[in-house]
Structure 1
Amino acid sequence: MATRLLKRTGISNEISDRLKRQQIESCKDLLSLTPIEVMHAAGLSYQQMSVLLQTVSKAVAPPVTTALDLWKQNSDSCFSTSFPALDKLLRGGLPCRTITEVTGPSGCGKTQMCLMLSVVATMPKSEGGLDSSVIYIDTESAFSAERLVEIAQSRFPEYFSCKERVLQMARRVILFRELTCDDVVRRLERLEEDIISTSAGLIILDSVASVVRKEFDTTLPGILMHRSNLLTHEASILKYLAHQFNIPVVLTNQITTHFGDQESPSSAEVDSGCVTAALGNTWSHSVNTRLIVQYVNAHQRQILIAKSSVAPFAVLNYTIQKQGICIDENDSQETLYQGTDPGLQPIKVRTGFTYRPVD
């Protein structure tokens, strides 16, 4: 991948440091230069420069693989969600090396899902976890350490009965709060080193839509293309990291009312019109698996598998309890998908609230 750091390509530390002093740090930086510029920047002869460019080019070129190779890699490459019914539909859980999106209206449990997956990822493999750290990028200041601990102790009371295990779990969730588009992009571009240094086995971005929708007014000419380019760049980085380190990437998305290629304001959450996942159809094709969470009534909600390379279109009912999301394991439904694009799948929102006076 073009954003890969030069020092990760196998070139010598001397040349890497020499290029870094001239603000040439990534493969993209180097490969954007002419051969003469590379010779001057690295202080190399023509032959040495040619070898350098070949080395860097090979490092970012996609490897040749076969279907058999992929089958062997993916046969046991899933991350259990700790929901047996959902794992069964997804043939083992959330697929590694890919991007899984959870989208839906506020209050449906997207962040609850992220917190629960974070807890599971830190647990030993013998307990269904990944025995790894988690990189959690929070763009909405929605992360709650108290809720993380509460879910851990309530969902897995036997394992987390020991305080030291709770502390170890909390230490393994590395939180980054990035509140602007530039901050998010810079964090993603540095994430390769973070994954290596923390031995992370799961990346969570909660949420991908928050900062983008605040900073880009898509009613202005040219803004939609600029936003699309930014999202494509973010998706390419996340896909590279997922594939390079064989880990799952989970991100959350918001909802919007749909008017052609435009999006309405966040009033969609209380509107009964056509509500769909935010960021448009182009973005919907960037994610590999899309899970939609939506309201059924004031207490019950649903998870829809709207996009998956292995799972059917299915519906699972759930509630949110002290231990996090609780799926009704005996009430799953598989149905034929009638739409043409997962980006257009209608999402149910809560349109009314019951007021109960306090005595």
Structure 2
Amino acid sequence: MDSRPITAIDALFSSQKAMLKRGNITTVADLMLLPLPDIMRKCKISNHDAKLIVDAVCDELAPKLHRLDDPGLPRDEKFTTGDALLDRLLGGGIRTSKLWEIAGESAAGKTQLAMQLSLCVQLPRNLGGILGSACFISTSWTLPTNRLVEMVDANPLFSPALCGLSDIHTLKAPSVNVLRHVLSVTLPGFLTSVRNQPNAKPVKLIVIDALAELFHTNTETSFASLNERSRNLAELATLLHGLASAHRVAVVVLNEVADVIDRGPAPDARPHEVAYREQARFFGRGDSVPGEDAKEAALGLVWANQVNARIMLSRTKRMRYLDAHEAQAVKRPRREPDVDAGTSRVAVAGQDGEQPIRLRRLTVVFSSVAQPGSLDYIITPGGIVALPEEAGGVTTVERTSPPRKIPANAAAATAPPQPDSSSDLGAASAVDLDGLAPPTDEAHVSSEGPERAENGPLAEEEDEWEAYWKSDELGSDFYSQLDLDALASSLPPSSERRSG
């Protein structure tokens, strides 16, 4: 509370200051903490005089209102994520004075994106940065500095002269109480001291990795434990918003996800009332590709109401082909099978060193500065790289049996040659893994781009149903000549067919 003396309030007349002195009210805190009847009793004044004194003090101490177009109003800054497509999706990049959440499953790239942001914030303004530094608050792990060095070496946007480990500060907060102390005592003083150093970059990014780990417990969930968790989350969010607003920093909190369990309609749902489990899908999870809505952000509704933007990261079951040049830039360019519920989805590399890589999906669930949207991305040694949605060449193979190796030029021997085509992102390739065997329902190949044999020219794979109807010798007017009514009347009743 404000401990400013009453004598320093210019809005009060000398007679009013004398009244307060008579009642032993010497500071602003003494005045504001007293109810109006107590002020009247202690100072022996009327209700009208007491209200005039309180209103005058409030008018002087209340913050002044500003228009949004006021040139003297401090502006929020924004810095790049290191990728132009991702910047466009987020409304121009990461903005300061806001609380951002990045939620996702394990190995989706949450920490990768956070480390990339800690380097981007250090860049000069002509490269999209804001000449700031970052502060990592970890809850259970140590910052992987070797990965940061790899990003600096592999990404042409970064360089040791512009960004490095010296401008990434780290703190450890293994419990809720420690994090509360860090946010309320340690961090405010640290931010002020760094800003006052003449040659130091001020802290413009705070990362917490990961908040949900502080709320893991083995105790039985009860009303008391849920109430305590909600209180802690609200208190931590208030501290984070206070830091973001007072010091003009961007706060990025990494969060975990939980499995979505379909329990059917709520038993106590009233007519024309949407249950919470139905509302949660609008603010708790993404739904841009099949399967993305199987996970939702942890920490519940209390935490969801505290963040300004929620970004969801997920690992998909889709694969993409990269050519030899792009494969060198991918972090782990290897054949990556995925088995789910007995179905194996395998992408097969073609010639010229093409390698399949798993696509990941980023979705802006909600944001105060951008529209909801989604994009695919991959993880490279230089960081996260978004892929344009209109790019072709995505091929997936779904099957329930293991693939069989085919001889070289097998597809070329059964399909007419097609002119070669190329794109900036490399041509896709897909081959019939069953060799020359007839197509069956076990293998289904879908492609959005040209297809190429393993060692042969380009060939378009014909759909098995189209091939079947082309081989039909009954003629196109055969079915139009059938008398379906007469055929139905000649059949025995349905009850006799079931008994037979």
TM-score, normalization by structure 2? 0.50
Counterparts of residues 32-51 of structure 1 (less than 5 Å)? 46-50=24-28
CA offsets 1:251-275 (integer angstroms, 9 cap, x no match): 100011346999xxxxxxxx99942
Higher helix share: 1
Letter in 2 for 1:101: E
Residue 128 (structure 1) aligned with residue 135 (structure 2): no
Counterparts of residues 1-359 of structure 1 (less than 5 Å)? 46-50=24-28, 63-66=63-66, 68=68, 77-156=77-156, 159-160=158-159, 169-190=164-185, 191-198=187-194, 199-212=202-215, 214-215=216-217, 217=219, 219-258=221-260, 274-297=294-317, 299-329=358-388, 331=390
Preserved contact between residue 209 and residue 278 of structure 1 (Cα < 8 Å): yes
Secondary structure at the aligned position of 1:316 is classed as strand
Preserved contact between residue 90 and residue 310 of structure 1 (Cα < 8 Å): yes
RCO higher in structure (CA 8 A, sep ≥6): 1
CA distance in 2, matches of 1:247, 1:92: 16
Q: Go from structure 1 to structure 2 and tell me whether the alpha carbon gap of 1:178 and 1:331 turns closer, same or farther (over 3 Å shift).
A: farther
Alignment identity in percent?
A: 25
Letter in 1 for 2:184: E
Letter in 1 for 2:179: V
CA offsets 1:225-250 (integer angstroms, 9 cap, x no match): 10011011010111111111222111
Q: Go from structure 1 to structure 2 and tell me whether the alpha carbon gap of 1:120 and 1:10 turns closer, same or farther (over 3 Å shift).
A: farther
CA distance in 2, matches of 1:70, 1:287: 26
CA distance in 1, matches of 2:292, 2:386: 26
Letter in 2 for 1:179: P
Q: CA deviation at 1:82?
A: 2.0
CA offsets 1:156-215 (integer angstroms, 9 cap, x no match): 36x5165xx56xx21111101211121111111122111112221111111111112x24
Q: Go from structure 1 to structure 2 and tell me whether the alpha carbon gap of 1:47 and 1:285 turns closer, same or farther (over 3 Å shift).
A: same
Secondary structure at the aligned position of 1:303 is classed as strand
CA distance in 1, matches of 2:67, 2:96: 17
CA distance in 1, matches of 2:173, 2:148: 19
Q: CA deviation at 1:51?
A: 6.1
Preserved contact between residue 78 and residue 130 of structure 2 (Cα < 8 Å): no
Q: CA deviation at 1:54?
A: 6.2
CA offsets 1:44-67 (integer angstroms, 9 cap, x no match): x93433367769x98xx9835345
Letter in 2 for 1:133: S
Secondary structure at the aligned position of 2:81 is classed as coil
CA distance in 1, matches of 2:135, 2:300: 26
Q: CA deviation at 1:68?
A: 2.0
Secondary structure at the aligned position of 2:226 is classed as helix
CA distance in 2, matches of 1:111, 1:90: 18
Letter in 1 for 2:302: T
Q: CA deviation at 1:150?
A: 1.1
Q: CA deviation at 1:123?
A: 2.2
Match of 2:282 in 1: none
Preserved contact between residue 79 and residue 248 of structure 1 (Cα < 8 Å): no
Preserved contact between residue 317 and residue 331 of structure 1 (Cα < 8 Å): no
Q: Go from structure 1 to structure 2 and tell me whether the alpha carbon gap of 1:62 and 1:206 turns closer, same or farther (over 3 Å shift).
A: farther
Q: List gaps (5 residues or longer) in structure 2.
A: 6-22, 34-56, 195-201, 264-275, 278-290, 318-335, 337-357, 392-401, 403-500
CA distance in 1, matches of 2:131, 2:31: 38
Match of 1:38 in 2: none
CA offsets 1:99-135 (integer angstroms, 9 cap, x no match): 0100010100000011100011122223221212211
Preserved contact between residue 216 and residue 223 of structure 1 (Cα < 8 Å): no
Q: Size of the alignment, in residue pairs?
A: 277
Q: CA deviation at 1:219?
A: 1.6
Q: Go from structure 1 to structure 2 and tell me whether the alpha carbon gap of 1:183 and 1:75 turns closer, same or farther (over 3 Å shift).
A: closer
Q: CA deviation at 1:77?
A: 2.8
Preserved contact between residue 99 and residue 253 of structure 2 (Cα < 8 Å): yes
Q: CA deviation at 1:295?
A: 1.2
CA distance in 1, matches of 2:71, 2:366: 20
Secondary structure at the aligned position of 2:159 is classed as helix
CA distance in 2, matches of 1:10, 1:217: 44
Q: CA deviation at 1:217?
A: 4.3
CA distance in 2, matches of 1:52, 1:92: 47
Letter in 2 for 1:173: I
Secondary structure at the aligned position of 1:63 is classed as coil
CA distance in 2, matches of 1:329, 1:231: 37
Preserved contact between residue 111 and residue 143 of structure 1 (Cα < 8 Å): no
